[in-house]
């Protein structure tokens, strides 16, 4: 079971209750009853009153410099009010009144120096300029991340706000009085870095003995696994150090609270996938989200990043003579990653932050292949949607998703479902099917969009920013759903294109003979393909082709599928030919599922491309 988040309110209830009681009791002893504005039922002439009980309703915490915090404790006080003539009348009444006690204290000394600066009747929650959660994690909304990063840089690295530059993490740690050690933290490389908030013994992995060992570390030590740079890249190594610096700056107080409950606590240990090792509570998730979100913003402050990005785009436009941003993005992102010494994925996300949505279609790897750069209209898809999906997911969706089963006029090309029309699909010089440049620059016009959710047990506060940024080393597994929410099939232009194609194919299908041989002759004539050409495309002998068409020897289902693909038959007609051949595609056969997918969404491609696809998916080639 995941550990519960530490609660500052609970700590106040169990450790500061007596001080709060005494302070409130003293305050009431000097308070005139008229100030309470009591609503009494049975007493009309208020005399003395006394404190009978208190219950803490909530605590609002605000950040202060150093290890200090300010916190307002809202108490529900039960007061016993006596009639003014109490010596002749024993009448009394219990009433409730809320009070707010404004406190300050130093966490480094367990709040032993707590002061109560003011007590008031509670009317409304006061706003704080630096609010903290009940777990003493700063409350930072997404819209405040840029300002938080700017404040951090203004404090420790102000020159990075005046010109584009590489932020040296080693220099940053010096300025923050932190010490960096390099050591292998976990044998399986599951932990990149950890930061220590107190002097302790750190556990690291020793390759010589193939075991964990303890080494002494001082408070303010960051341990980074040096293999991060080799297994990932130097950008990931730099990011890890800045990430831990953010923990030190923002989360010392959350750690101090943890220490109040657990005196053995010493560090925050950050996992490769973006979480905190050994803790599954909400507070640690938010701490990690903040460190993940702020580190690249600190390394690439937005205004300076925009300035460098603009200059880099101009440089490559002049150098390459290319105007389309999506074509330039791979060059621009790679150079910006080198300039700021971050990963390409981090630079790509920052380009999107800077307003260059064309960056979303760059550096996407699916099925081990690089997906060509592409662009789409701003706002055409949601942050957790994509136009690019793996082939096996596509094949399964075509079988299980009713909406996608009806999208047969979309051809699967370069990890996209593209509308089968010459405006969007063409053959290159090698005869391979590809998207036209127009299609890649207007992918929202011709491709289907899919919704992504993360299948792994990884916190989504961070990863929602990374749905479209599946780089080569991404550890994430996605669940893909086709919802049809963007109403691709209803767009007027596409509707007309589809109408023309569908009507032609429907006319051909309706005219096909029930005679298998005659039907083959009709579709080959429609496609303008001779039996000899069909034999050339399929590498099946012309004699065998003749025997199959004449139903002398049908052979295996593979031959029929191959012939349908070679003739570029649409799915409805291929299904007709298979049915009349007496063969069938079995849904229980994984190879047949992929053949079915190829017939539905790859029928515009060459046989070589289809065979390559099948090999890549581990299926038997036709």
Dump pLDDT digits (tens) for 424-439: 999 888 888 999 999 9
Closest CA to 253 of 167, 137, 421: 137
- The pTM of the full predicted model, rounded to 2 decimals, is 0.75
Give the per-residue pLDDT at 241: 93
pLDDT at 460: 45
Contact 375, 326 (CB under 8 A): yes
Quote the tokens at residue 534: 């069909």
| Confidence (pLDDT) at 229 | 58
Token pair belonging to 153: 């840089």
What is the reported pLDDT for 462? 40
**Whole-number Å distance between alpha carbons of 163 and 73:** 45
Number of other residues whose CB lies within 10 A of the CB of residue 334 = 16
Res 477: pLDDT: 55
Ramachandran angles phi, psi of 372, nearest 5°: -60, 145
Query: How far, in Å, CA of 363 to CA of 354, rounded?
Result: 17
Residue whose tokens read 């169990």: 14
Instruction: Kindly state the tokens that stand for 92.
Output: 């009394």
Token duo for residue 19 = 């001080």
Yes or no: say if 372 and 364 are a contact pair by the CB < 8 Å rule.
no
C-alpha distances (whole Å) from 102 to each of 60, 78, 247, 567 are 10, 19, 28, 81
In this predicted structure, what is the pLDDT of residue 604? Answer: 85
Neighbours of 505 (CB within 10 A): 18
Q: In degrees to the nearest 10, what's the CA dihedral of 439, 442, 448, 452?
A: 120
Which ranges of the chain have pLDDT less than 50?
1-2, 272-275, 278-279, 457-476, 485-490
Query: Across the strands, what pairs with 131?
Result: 62
Partner residues linked to 479 by β-bridges: 453
Distances (CA, A) of 271 to 189, 277, 281, 463: 9, 6, 15, 14
Tokens of 254: 């959350």
Q: Which of 184, 218, 182, 183 is nearest to 200 (CA)?
A: 218
């Amino acid at each position: 079971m995941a550990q519960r988040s530490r609660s500052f309110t609970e700590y106040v209830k169990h450790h500061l209750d007596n001080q709060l009681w005494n302070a409130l009791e003293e305050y009431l002893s000097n308070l005139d009853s008229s100030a309470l504005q009591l609503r009494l039922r049975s007493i009309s002439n208020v005399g003395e009153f006394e404190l009978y009980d208190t219950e803490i309703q909530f605590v609002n915490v605000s950040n202060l410099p150093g290890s200090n915090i300010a916190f307002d404790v809202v108490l529900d006080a039960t007061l016993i009010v006596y009639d003014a003539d109490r010596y002749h009348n024993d009448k009394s009444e219990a009433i409730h009144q809320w009070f707010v006690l404004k406190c300050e204290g130093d966490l480094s000394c367990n709040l032993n120096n707590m002061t109560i600066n003011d007590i008031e009747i509670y009317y409304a929650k006061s706003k704080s300029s630096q609010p903290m959660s009940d777990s003493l994690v700063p409350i930072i909304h997404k819209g405040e991340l840029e300002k938080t990063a700017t404040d951090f840089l203004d404090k420790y690295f102000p020159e990075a706000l005046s010109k584009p530059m590489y932020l040296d993490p080693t220099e940053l740690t010096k300025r923050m009085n932190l010490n960096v050690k390099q050591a292998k933290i976990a044998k399986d490389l599951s932990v990149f870095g950890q930061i220590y908030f107190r002097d302790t013994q750190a556990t690291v992995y020793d390759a010589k003995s193939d075991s964990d060992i303890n080494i002494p570390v001082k408070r303010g030590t960051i341990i980074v696994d040096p293999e991060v740079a080799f297994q990932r890249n130097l950008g990931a190594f730099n990011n890890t150090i800045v990430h831990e610096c953010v923990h030190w700056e923002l989360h010392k107080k959350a750690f101090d609270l943890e220490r109040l409950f657990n005196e053995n606590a010493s560090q925050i240990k950050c996992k490769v996938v973006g979480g905190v090792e050994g803790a599954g509570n909400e507070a640690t998730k938010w701490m990690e989200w903040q460190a993940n979100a702020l580190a690249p913003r600190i390394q690439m402050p937005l205004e300076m990043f925009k300035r460098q990005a603009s200059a880099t785009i101009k440089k490559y436009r002049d150098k390459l003579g290319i105007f389309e941003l999506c074509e330039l993005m791979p060059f621009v992102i790679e150079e910006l990653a080198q300039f700021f010494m971050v990963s390409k994925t981090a630079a790509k996300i920052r380009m999107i932050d800077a307003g260059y949505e064309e960056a979303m279609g760059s550096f996407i790897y699916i099925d081990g292949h690089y997906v060509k750069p592409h662009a789409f209209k701003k706002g055409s898809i949601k942050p957790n949607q994509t136009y690019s999906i793996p082939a096996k997911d596509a094949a399964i969706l075509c079988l299980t998703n009713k909406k996608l089963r009806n999208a047969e006029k979309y051809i699967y090309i370069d990890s996209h479902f593209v509308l089968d029309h010459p405006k969007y699909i063409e053959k290159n010089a090698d005869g391979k099917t590809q998207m036209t440049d127009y299609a890649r620059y207007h992918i929202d016009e011709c491709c289907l969009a899919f919704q992504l959710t993360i299948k792994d047990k990884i916190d989504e506060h961070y990863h929602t920013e990374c749905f479209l940024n599946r780089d080569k080393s991404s550890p994430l597994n996605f669940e893909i759903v086709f919802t049809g929410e963007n109403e691709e099939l209803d767009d007027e232009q596409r509707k007309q294109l589809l109408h023309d194609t569908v009507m032609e194919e429907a006319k051909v299908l309706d005219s096909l003979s029930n005679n298998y041989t005659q039907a083959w002759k009709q579709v080959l004539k429609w496609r303008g393909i001779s039996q000899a050409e069909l034999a050339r495309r399929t590498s099946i002998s012309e004699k065998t082709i003749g025997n199959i068409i004449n139903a002398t020897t049908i052979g295996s289902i593979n031959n029929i599928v191959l012939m349908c693909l070679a003739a570029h038959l649409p799915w409805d007609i291929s299904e007709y030919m298979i049915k009349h051949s007496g063969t069938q595609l079995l849904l229980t056969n994984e190879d047949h599922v992929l053949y079915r997918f190829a017939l539905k969404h790859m029928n515009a491609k060459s046989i070589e491309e289809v065979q390559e696809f099948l090999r890549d998916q581990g299926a038997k080639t036709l």
